[in-house]
Amino acid sequence: MSTDLAVTKNISFLSDFKELTKMRLAISVVFSSIAGYFLGADQLSIVDILLLAVGGYAMVGASNAYNQIIERDLDKKMKRTQNRPLPSGRFSVNQSFIIASLLTALGLGLLFIINPKTALFGAISIFIYVSIYTPLKTKTPLSVFVGAFPGAIPFMLGWVAATGEFSIEAGTLFMIQFFWQFPHFWALGWWLYEDYKKGGFFMLPTGKRDSSTALQIVLYTIWTLIVSLLPVSGLTGSLKLSYVGGAIVLVLGLVMVYHAVQLYKLRTEKAAKKLMLASVSYITLIQIVYVADKFIRAWV
């Protein structure tokens, strides 16, 4: 019986740890970082990839844990968050803080082994997310703008990890994910508007599900597509994209634009959810296209 109880407790702890660190989000961030690494690397290092993966997860997990400590009372008010480890009482604040602190130290240490600049950008990301973005979420819609900075770092971070430099290539990768943040989070904010309202969060640019918010979503979706196509121009240094790769990105972007326009027309939660899902697919697929295009061009 005692062995079964111990196993159950371990499984429960692991499940709560995954929720505290937002495992699915953290994995998507790690995916972006590794994609950026593949784009920047002349030769792939399995050691660096592992350091980037584990270190990246630790940094994102720490940010999410600190975030949930700060927002634990607000999370109790929202249906989608009230069963998280902290508001439900399964984790204490001290326990969560220790986990977040250990993850911060681990993440910074592993990223520093790759190179100091990678660790620096990782530290900047966690600082902005926890110390600026999180407090602003209940005060102003500009929190999405602030949050877009740490949210845009992962794709660029991989390039810096591979090259040790921040250059026009890394800046382009940053811009792609920066502009993408707006339609993604505004669509999410529109979809979950009522739940966010219970927690006192300001996610939409006008604070309302109105035509102005919908129009801004369309415009930022178009900007996301334009920036994503910049490497086709040859003006982004060694970060290049073939015409074929650009055509694929264009098609993927037009799908996202279509869903943004549908949200503008319909202004429904269903349309917002479709755009949010389309945005997740878009950022994942274009990263795959960028990486595949690089290696195909190298082989041809």
DSSP 205: T
List of residues 6+ apart from 262 with CB closer than 8 A: 271, 274, 275
First and final CA of the chain: distance in angstroms? 62
Distance CA 264, CA 258 (A): 10
Structure tokens, 66: 């600190």
The CATH code of the domain that includes 92 is 1.10.357.140
Query: Tell me, what's the pLDDT at 1?
Result: 47
| 180 and 52 within one domain | no
Residues of the chain with pLDDT under 70: 1-11
Domain closes at, from 166, 183, 217: 166
| 37 and 6 within one domain | yes
The model scores a pTM over 0.85: yes
pLDDT in tens, 53-69: 999 999 999 999 999 99
List of residues 6+ apart from 245 with CB closer than 8 A: 232, 289, 290, 292, 293
Number of domains the chain contains? 2
| Range(s) of the domain holding residue 201 | 167-300
| 232 and 131 within one domain | no
| 138 and 196 within one domain | no
| 189 and 150 within one domain | no
Query: Tell me, what's the pLDDT at 12?
Result: 87
